[in-house]
A and B are shown apart, each in its own frame.
Chain A
Amino acid sequence: MKTRERLKNIFVQVLELSPEIELSKIAYRETRFWDSVGHMRLVAAIETEFGIFMETEQILDLSNFEYAVEVLKSHGVTD
Chain B
Amino acid sequence: MASLIDLSGKVAVVTGASRGIGRACAEILASCGATVVLNALNDLEQLKILAASLQETYKTKCIPFTADAADAAAVNQLYKDIAQKLGRLDILVANAGIMEDALLGMITPKQIEMTFSVNVTGTINHIQTASRLIRRNGVDGGTIVAMSSIIGQHGNSGQTVYGASKAAIIGAVKSAAKELAGFNIRVNAIAPGFIDTAMTRNLPPPIYQKRLEQIGLQRIGTTDDVARAVLFLCSDLSRYITGQVIGVDGGMIV
Contacts and interface: CB of A to CB of B under 8 A. Distances in A.
B80 A44 contact: no
A35 interface: no
Q: How many B residues touch the partner, as a band?
A: 10 to 19
Consensus secondary structure, chain A interface: helix
A56 B72 contact: yes
A66 interface: no
Q: How many A residues touch the partner, as a band?
A: under 10
Nearest to A41: B135
B2 interface: no
B133 interface: yes
Consensus secondary structure, chain B interface: helix
A48 interface: yes
B136 interface: yes
Nearest to B125: A56
Contacts of A44: 132, 135-136
21 contacts: A40-B132, A40-B135, A43-B132, A44-B132, A44-B135, A44-B136, A47-B83, A47-B136, A48-B136, A51-B83, A51-B84, A53-B80, A53-B83, A53-B84, A53-B132, A53-B133, A55-B73, A55-B76, A56-B72, A56-B76, A56-B129
Given A53-B79, A53-B83, A53-B132, 12 more contacts: A40-B132, A40-B135, A43-B132, A44-B132, A44-B135, A47-B83, A47-B136, A51-B83, A51-B84, A53-B80, A55-B76, A56-B129
